[in-house]
A = this chain, B = another copy of it.
């Protein structure tokens, strides 16, 4: 199998960047569905799919989210075309009878809150990675961030879902490349990799 072409690899990884500023181009609701309809195929352990997403498109919702974030992140959230809350459902196992139907996977997690917590955190973070790359594959850009009060976001967006806790937040739109700073350094293979 041949690699994707250089333009695709650049788009996904080599030239892609985290954005704090976006063009005025609106993000249509169909684009949010298109992102989900790619990211949902990314693998999670036992098809847990623990991520729960709130796509804040109204100014009211973005302001509500911004009120839970650090000052510098609040400003980015308020003026982004879309801000996305990526939560994780620690009761994801209730869905496994139809998401992973061939064995009783729910029983692996019943009564084991610690395993559910770690699984939801790991797998919803994987899904956040899929979200970022699905957005890029569709020509959009993201600005993921973890500087916010997760308890406040839970109250503001998941008060009706007590098993859901906020993992991370991202802005979404068509990035304004004129506002980019130079990229932070990336280490060579030998620094963080070993062949055994």
Contact = CB atoms under 8 A, between A and B. Distances in A.
B187 A58 contact: no
B32 A195 contact: yes
Given A55-B193, A196-B157, A13 B39 contact: yes
A17 to B, nearest CB: 8
Interface in A1-35: 1-4, 8-9, 11-14, 16, 18, 29, 32-34
A122 B126 CA distance: 8
Given A13-B134, A55-B195, A167-B122, A41 B186 contact: yes
A8 B100 contact: no
A79 interface: no
A98 interface: yes
A154 to B, nearest CB: 14
B196 A36 contact: no
Contacts of A129: 42, 125-130, 132-133
B49 A187 contact: yes
A116 B192 CA distance: 17
State the 6 A-B residue pairs at the shortest beta-carbon distance, nearest first: A129-B129, A1-B139, A125-B125, A61-B196, A47-B184, A13-B38
